[in-house]
Amino acid sequence: MGKLSRQVAIVTGASAGIGEAAAYSLAREGATVVLAARRLERLDRIKQEIESAGGNAVAVACDVTLAEDRERLVSDAMSVNGRIDALINNAGYGQRGPIEIVPVESIRQNFETNLFSLIALTQLVIPVMRRQESGRIINISSVAGRIARPLSSVYDATKHALEAISDGMRGELALFGIKVIVIEPGFIITEFLEVANEISRPIIEGDNPYAPLFAGFNEGYKRMRRMAGQPDDIARLILKAMADPRPRPRYAAPRHARIFLAAKKWMPDRLFEYIVNRQTGISADRLRAQNLK
Ligand SMILES: NC(=O)c1ccc[n+]([C@@H]2O[C@H](COP(=O)([O-])OP(=O)(O)OC[C@H]3O[C@@H](n4cnc5c(N)ncnc54)[C@H](OP(=O)(O)O)[C@@H]3O)[C@@H](O)[C@H]2O)c1
């Protein structure tokens, strides 16, 4: 019997990347995983793989930004066993672009998916967990929840807000036996970058004075790829957050994520910003040296 047998865990954004890896790990430990995302055909394939390995899963087509989908997700999860032991809020994407030119509507949409929908879904699950007097809410934030970067500050702001909401909720819900845990991945190889580039393409490719910064940013990402982790690195943290009797408020991986977070904590702001901007390829000095500006 796995560590999580008889538990029911909802995973949003389970059709790819971190959510998919988490779903397999949770199922291997015996949890019934309620898989939620918009691409049902992918969820069905993941459900089949879990079941052929002897696990249990339910696939629910769910756009987290739609109230009726969120309600159906919670009621489908409840119909498994009459309880919800864990909510893994993982669905999300990154809007890119300089603040001067990202349309406010695109900023609102990024907050809608990464934050408001997450809060609304959590509001449906809390009463269930409160009645059970147990449950874990695991919010997938990011290193970007504590460090903001140029060209990424919209996404980074959604994750900063998520960190604040999570910290507040932790104190509110402890009374009812509900634990709130934040996971802070660094750069992980998933579809995230592709999706971010696709969504941000009109801004990136538009005629604007920030083109040299984008060129530098892309170079920076290529360098960062060498340090990147895999979705399983984060799935392991999620398992830890599920199984630790006294989970920490936040967990980070892989190693570069922990190094960046420690540096942010201890370095003076100006020095830290200089290092982050160099690392992410957007320092004005580096761009000048490469004749990009
Ligand atoms: N990869 C990284 O480097 C990294 C680093 C730090 C944090 N994160 C965070 O980790 C989480 C997972 O990202 P990932 O890297 O695994 O990216 P990914 O491969 O692009 O997966 C994103 C998942 O979110 C789902 N999703 C997006 N919008 C949705 C919506 N409106 N309703 C329901 N599901 C939705 C997608 O499913 P459908 O398209 O099928 O709906 C997909 O399953 C995100 O919150 C991201 O911010 C990622």
Report how far residue 228's alpha carbon sits from residue 191's, in angstroms, rounded to the nearest whole number: 13
* 277 CA → ligand 1 middle, Å: 24
pLDDT score, position 285: 62
pLDDT band at 72 (very low <50, low <70, confident <90, very high): very high
pLDDT at 276 over 90: no
184 part of a folded domain:
yes
pLDDT at 293 over 60: no
pLDDT score, position 279: 73
* 93 CA → ligand 1 middle, Å: 5
229 lines ligand 1 (CB under 6 A): no
24, 93, 155, 251: the active-site residue: 155
* 189 CA → ligand 1 middle, Å: 12
pLDDT digits (tens, 9 = 90+) for 197-248: 999 999 988 888 888 888 888 888 888 888 999 999 999 999 999 999 999 9
Phi, psi (deg, nearest 5) at residue 12: -85, 150
209 part of a folded domain:
no
pLDDT band at 283 (very low <50, low <70, confident <90, very high): low
pLDDT digits (tens, 9 = 90+) for 164-184: 999 999 999 999 999 999 999
pLDDT score, position 144: 98
pLDDT digits (tens, 9 = 90+) for 14-68: 999 999 999 999 999 999 999 999 999 999 999 999 999 999 999 999 999 999 9
Q: In 3D, which of 156, 146, 161, 94 has the Cα closest to residue 250?
A: 146
213 part of a folded domain:
no
154 part of a folded domain:
yes
Closest ligand 1 atom, CA of 63?
32
pLDDT score, position 103: 97
Closest ligand 1 atom, CA of 15?
43
Instruction: Give the Cβ contact number of residue 248 at 10 Å.
Output: 11
Q: Mean of the per-residue pLDDT values for the chain? A: 94
pLDDT band at 284 (very low <50, low <70, confident <90, very high): low
283 part of a folded domain:
no
86 part of a folded domain:
yes
Report how far residue 97's alpha carbon sits from residue 114's, in angstroms, rounded to the nearest whole number: 17
Closest ligand 1 atom, CA of 114?
45
pLDDT band at 288 (very low <50, low <70, confident <90, very high): low
pLDDT score, position 218: 80
292 vs 176 pLDDT, higher one: 176
200 part of a folded domain:
no
User: Which CATH number fits the domain that encloses residue 127?
Assistant: 3.40.50.720
- Count: domains in the chain: 1
pLDDT score, position 214: 85
Residue nearest to atom 29 of ligand 1 (CA): 91
What's the number of CA atoms in the CB half-sphere (13 Å) around residue 29? 19
pLDDT score, position 291: 57
Report how far residue 125's alpha carbon sits from residue 260's, in angstroms, rounded to the nearest whole number: 33
pLDDT at 292 over 60: no
pLDDT score, position 207: 87
Residue nearest to atom 41 of ligand 1 (CA): 38
Q: Encoding tokens for residue 15?
A: 């059709």
Structural domain boundaries, residue 48: 8-195+229-265
Share of the chain above pLDDT 90, in %: 85
Q: Which amino acid is at 171?
A: G
* 24 CA → ligand 1 middle, Å: 16
Is 210 among the residues known to form the active site? Answer: no
102 part of a folded domain:
yes
DSSP bridge partners of 252: 184
